Structure 1
Amino acid sequence: MKIEFAPLMIPLRRRMQTAAVLQWLFSFIALAQCCLAVFILLSLSDLWFLAALYAVWLYVDRDTPERGGRRSSWVRGWRVWRHFRDYFPLTLVKTVDLDPKLNYLFGFHPHGVLVAGAFGNFCTKASEFGKLFPGLTPYLLMLPFWFRVPFFRDYIMCAGLVSSDKRSASYLLSRPGGGHAAVLAIGGAPESLEARPGALTLQLLSRKGFIKLAIKHGSPLVPVFSFGENELFNQMPNPQGSVLRGAQERLQKLMGVALPLFHARGVFQYSWGLLPFRKPVCTVGKRLGGGHWG
C-alpha cells in the first residue's frame, strides 16, 4: 500500500484541529478503560480509602445519569471543541424556531461509527445550539453501560450525556416548564455496524419505543439527520452472516455495545489510521408541520 504523507508545512490551526479530534477519539475508545485502570490501581494502593470513598459516591450518585445528569457549562464551552468542529467541519442548521415551553425528543440518524455530529452539536457549545434555540437544553442519550465506569461517567455527564435508559428519557420529557431536548440515536449500536462511506442503512422497523414514549409524554418528535456522518470512517467488511458480524452482534447482545472495526487516516499520513476523514457533516431537521423543527 502506497502511503500518502501529510505536507510538512501545515497551518497551526489545522494542527490544532487534528489534536482536538485526536483527544476526542481517545475519549471514545480508550478513556473509559484508563479510568477503570486508575480506579483499580487506586484500590490496590496505599490510597485505597480514596477508592472506597469514591465507591460510596458512586452508590449515592447512581441515579444521576437517569435524572438529567450533571452538565458543566465550562466543559461544554472548552475551546478545543471549536477546533473539533472546524476539523470536519460540523454544521448545525436551524429551519424553524422551537417553543422552549415544550420538551422534545430528537430522533438522530444515522448513528455513524462514533456519532461525531451528535456529539459536536449537542454535547458542546461549538455549534451554538443555545443561540439557535434559546431556552432549550439538549441531552444526548448514551448506553447505560458507560455510566458504570468510575470517573469516566462524571466526565461524560459534564458534556450533557445521560443514560439512554427509558427512565432517563421519561425524566427529561416529563419535566415541568419544558425546555428539554432528549437526543436519541435511534439506530443505536447495530446501526454503527452498517456505517461506511456511500452506504446508508438505518435501523427503523424494530425501533418504535421512542415514538410511544413521545406520545406518552406529549412531546413533539423531531427527526434529525446528519448528512456526511457515514463518510467519516471506513469499516472492515462485515456482511450479514460473516464470522466478524456474528462476533460483533454477540458482543452487542452481551454488553449492549458494538465494536465496529473502523479506520480512516492517520495524524501524519492520509493512507491509514483511526482519525476520521476531513469530511463536512451537516446536521439538520426537516419541517413536517405544526411549527416544529422536525
Structure 2
Amino acid sequence: MIYDRKTPCRGSRHSKFWRSLTLWHHFANYFPLKLVKTAELDPKNNYIVGSHPHGVLSIGAFGSFCTEATGFSENFPGITPYQVTLHGQFQFPFRRELSVLCGAISSEKESIEYVLKKAKGNAISIVLGGAEEALDCHPDNYDLRLSTRKGFVKLALKHGAHLVPMYNFGENKTYDQLDNRRGTRLRNFQTTFKRYFGFSAPIFFGRGIFQYSVGLIPYRTPITTVVGKPIAVKQNSTPTQEEIDILHSEYCKQLIQLFDENKTKYGIPENANLNIY
C-alpha cells in the first residue's frame, strides 16, 4: 500500500481479466443491469460523465464503468472508462487492490486531471450528487443535488472534456430507507454527521438471503443505465463564472431531457419530474 499509494491518483490500472470475470456477469444478471447507448463517443475526445442518481451504493455506475458486465467496451469501442470514488475507499487493504483493478480512481482533483491530461479516449464517470443525495434514495424520489455542483463543469472547460449526462433508472429502488425527509430529526442528524465525517449515514435495508422481508442485500430490481449525448466543450484554461454557469445550465437541461425521453420506458410515471436542487 505504501509503495503503490499514488496509483489511485494516477489512473489506477485497468485489468481486462478482472473486469471481465464471470462473477460480474452473475452480479449484473441478479438485478439485472443494462447499459443503453443513445449516441457515439468519439475516441478523439475525453469525457466527463455525470452519473445520476447516487442511490445507496451507485450500483448502476459500478456495473457499467468498473466491469464489462454490461458491455461498455462493445458499446463504446476505443473509450477507457474510469469511475471516480472517495479517496478513503483506497485506504482499506485488498479492497483498494480490487478497486484499482476495476479502474476506479480517487475523487481528488489532481486524480481526475491526471486522466484528462494523459491521453484522449477517456470517459470519467462522477456520481455528482454525492453523499447528501444518497440520503434521498427512495423508490419514488427523483430529486438530484446538482444546482451547486459545478466543479465538474470547470474541469470540463479547463481540459476541453465533453460533458455527458447519464441516468440510472431503477437505482433508487435497490434499497429502502427509514423516513428521513428533509426537516425530520433523522435527516438533520444525518446531515450533521456528513458535515463532520465527510460521508453520509443512510439507514437502509433490503432483502435477506432466504427471505425478502429485511436484510442488506439489494432488491432484485432492473437498473438501466442510459448514457446521453455528449455536450461539446471548447477548452478554456481560465473559464469565467458566467461561462461555467451557462454550461452547467445546458448540462441540467440535457439531463432533464434524457430523463423525460426515457422515464416511461423504465417504469417511471409520465407525470414524474426530475427535480434539481
On whether the aligned pair clears a TM of 0.5, the verdict is: yes
Distance (Å, rounded) in 2 between the aligned partners of 1:83 and 1:103: 30
Partner of 1:181 in structure 2? 123
The one-letter amino acid paired with 1:157 is V
Report if the CA contact (8 A) 1:103-1:174 is conserved.
no
5 Å-filtered alignment, 1:18-29, equals none
Q: Which residue of structure 1 aligns with residue 10 of structure 2?
A: 67
Instruction: Give a deviation string over 1:14-62, Cα, whole Å, max 9, x none.
Output: xxxxxxxxxxxxxxxxxxxxxxxxxxxxxxxxxxxxxxxxxxxx33322
Unpaired segments of 5 or more residues in structure 1?
1-57
Q: Which residue of structure 2 lines up, in the alignment, with residue 81 of structure 1?
A: 24
Q: Distance in 1 between matches of 2:103 and 2:188?
A: 33
Structure 2 equivalent of residue 210 of structure 1 = 152
The ranges of structure 1 where at least 4 consecutive aligned residues each deviate by more than 6 angstroms after the TM superposition are: none
Question: How far apart are residue 289 of structure 1 and its match?
Answer: 6.3
Amino acid at match of 1:252: K
| Residue aligned with 1:253, SS | helix
Summarize the alignment of residues 212-291 of structure 1 with structure 2, pairs less than 5 Å apart: 212-287=154-229
Count of paired positions: 235
Q: Distance in 1 between matches of 2:22 and 2:181?
A: 40
Instruction: Report the CA distance shift for 1:288/1:137 in structure 2 as closer, same or farther (over 3 A).
Output: closer
> CA–CA distance in 2 between the matches of 1:65 and 1:250?
29
Do the aligned partners of 1:71 and 1:160 also contact (CA within 8 Å) in 2? yes
Name 1:111's counterpart in structure 2. Answer: 54
**2:73 matches 1:99:** no
Residue aligned with 1:182, SS: strand
Matched residue type, 1:286: G
User: Paired residue for 1:16?
Assistant: none
Two-structure CA RMSD over aligned residues (Å): 1.9
Distance 1:67 1:289 in 2: 26
Q: Structure 1 length as normaliser, TM-score?
A: 0.76
Task: Provide the secondary structure at the position in 1 that maps to 2:124.
Answer: strand
Measure the CA separation in 1 of the matches of 2:125 and 2:183: 32
Instruction: Return the match for 2:77 from 120, 134, 140.
Output: 134
Q: Matched residues in 2 for 1:120 and 1:198: separation?
A: 22
Structure 1 Cα separation of the partners of residues 8 and 218 of structure 2: 29
Tell me which amino acid in the other structure corresponds to 1:76: R
Residues 102 and 219 in structure 1, CA contact (< 8 A), matched pair in contact too: yes
Percent identity, aligned pairs only, is 47
